[in-house]
């Protein structure tokens, strides 16, 4: 009579017979206990969390790239749609060691810096007369270029000369109306130059603030006066255009050369549009992200935070930090057009594209 028995443990206590429980033909190792099961489960959980973390990171960085790209794209488009937009105000507000470089391309009515803004011992009336001559010389040079393009008949030449004489008289009357304000302006320029040479202008905070404030005040006066003279010049050009026929006016308009400031503004505007569109689409992400960093760095350099009177640039610093993250992480290869370009290049070169693992 057979006896029903439980399978016996092996001598080591860690092996039980498996397969057929009655025959004891296959051993099962339970020496590790439940620890091995727990470690395997924990490993799978960690892998799942890591994969989800990678997906969230890719989505967050892609969102950051698209938002910054839209900011650049819309800013550039707003500049291109507005024909009156100019970076002149931004350049005039520049402070710090690079301020003169930013102002180098600013349009200047006449030779203001070399006459009225120069402290050379002359009185205000003599300096103003020199500036007026520089303005009139610019108008005469413009008229000479126009006459080379479009020869004028006798009556046209007389009317053109009469319009020029009227503009010169208007300019003289305008400068005479400035009167004592121009004398006071010359005194302030001399005092500002003396204050800037003083060691206290860079060592004492309140002295730096006073110098920065005075510099902005003087620049505002200069800009207002030059705008008055520029308005007289614009009216003069309009009077000249009114004397031309349609064909002559078309030739003059076609030959008009844009100013260096206009060229620089258009280059910056199109650069912003291009960088923004590429970031949104994920095309050449690293290259365009660094281009955006260099542009923002030029903005920050115009307002160094350690210079008195500098404007706040916290927003630009935040975007620079975000763009550096985008440039350092291969986010474009995961979520933008760069992924398809890498896949195509890999297929053409006979290589398998790299896969991102969680």
For residues 89 and 232, the model is more confident at: 232
Q: In whole angstroms, what is the distance from residue 190 CA to residue 96 CA?
A: 20
Q: In whole angstroms, what is the distance from residue 327 CA to residue 282 CA?
A: 11
Confirm if 343 and 286 have CB atoms less than 8 A apart.
Answer: no
2 is a domain residue: no
Q: 230 with 308, same domain?
A: no
**Short-list 88, 137, 89, 86, CA closest to 110:** 137
Q: 87 with 164, same domain?
A: no
Q: 243 with 294, same domain?
A: no
The pLDDT confidence band at residue 337, using thresholds 50, 70 and 90, is: confident
Q: Which domain holds residue 124?
A: 108-258
Choose one of 258, 288, 303: the last residue of a domain.
258
12 is a domain residue: no
332 is a domain residue: yes
215 is a domain residue: yes
pLDDT in tens, 155-173: 888 999 999 999 999 999 9
Q: 324 with 285, same domain?
A: yes
Q: In whole angstroms, what is the distance from residue 288 CA to residue 73 CA?
A: 12
Q: What is the DSSP letter of 96?
A: S
Q: 270 with 241, same domain?
A: no
Task: Output the DSSP codes for 130-143.
Answer: HHHHHHHHHHHHHH
Q: 248 with 305, same domain?
A: no
Q: Is the pTM of this model over 0.75?
A: no
Q: What total of structural domains would you count in the chain?
A: 2
Q: In whole angstroms, what is the distance from residue 157 CA to residue 104 CA?
A: 35
Q: 112 with 150, same domain?
A: yes
pLDDT in tens, 105-156: 787 888 888 898 888 888 888 999 999 999 999 999 988 888 888 888 888 8
Choose one of 210, 238, 258: the last residue of a domain.
258
Q: 297 with 335, same domain?
A: yes
Supply the pLDDT for residue 220. Answer: 86
Choose one of 225, 258, 291: the last residue of a domain.
258
Please name the helix (run of DSSP H) or strand (run of DSSP E) that holds residue 17, with its range, or none.
strand 15-18
Q: In whole angstroms, what is the distance from residue 259 CA to residue 107 CA?
A: 8
The pLDDT confidence band at residue 30, using thresholds 50, 70 and 90, is: very low
Supply the pLDDT for residue 165. Answer: 93
Q: In whole angstroms, what is the distance from residue 174 CA to residue 170 CA?
A: 6
| Segment among 193-197, 199-203, 305-309, 335-339 with least mean pLDDT | 199-203
């Amino acid at each position: 009579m057979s006896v029903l028995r439980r399978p016996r443990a092996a001598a080591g206590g860690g092996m039980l017979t498996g397969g057929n429980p009655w025959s004891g033909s296959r051993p099962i190792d339970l020496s590790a206990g439940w620890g091995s099961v727990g470690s395997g489960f924990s490993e799978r959980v960690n892998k799942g969390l890591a994969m989800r973390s990678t997906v969230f990171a890719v989505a967050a960085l892609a969102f950051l790239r698209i938002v910054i790209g839209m900011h650049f794209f819309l800013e550039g488009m707003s500049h291109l749609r507005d024909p009156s937009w100019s970076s002149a105000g931004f350049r005039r507000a520049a402070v710090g060691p690079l301020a003169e470089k930013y102002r180098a391309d600013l349009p200047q009515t006449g030779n203001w810096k070399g006459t009225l803004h120069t402290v050379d011992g002359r009185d205000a009336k003599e300096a103003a007369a020199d500036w007026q001559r520089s303005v009139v010389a610019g108008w005469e040079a413009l008229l000479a270029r126009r006459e080379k393009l479009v020869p004028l008949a006798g009556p046209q030449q007389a009317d053109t000369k009469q319009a020029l004489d009227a503009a010169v008289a208007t300019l003289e009357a305008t400068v005479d109306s400035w009167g004592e304000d121009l004398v006071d302006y010359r005194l302030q320029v001399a005092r500002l130059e003396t204050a800037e040479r003083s060691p206290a202008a860079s060592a004492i905070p309140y002295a730096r603030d006073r110098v920065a404030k005075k510099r902005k005040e003087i620049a505002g006066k200069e800009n207002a006066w030059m705008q008055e003279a520029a308005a007289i010049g614009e009216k003069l050009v309009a009077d000249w255009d009114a004397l031309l026929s349609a064909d002559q006016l078309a030739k003059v308009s076609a030959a008009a050369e844009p100013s260096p400031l206009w060229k620089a503004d258009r280059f910056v505007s199109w650069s912003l549009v291009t960088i923004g569109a590429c970031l949104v689409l994920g095309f050449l992400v690293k290259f365009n992200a660094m281009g955006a960093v260099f542009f923002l760095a030029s903005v920050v350099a115009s307002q160094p935070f350690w210079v008195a009177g500098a404007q706040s640039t916290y927003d630009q610093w935040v975007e620079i930090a975000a763009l550096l993250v985008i440039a350092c992480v291969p986010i474009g290869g995961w979520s933008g057009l760069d992924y398809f370009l890498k896949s195509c290049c890999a297929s053409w070169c006979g290589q398998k594209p790299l896969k991102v693992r969680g």
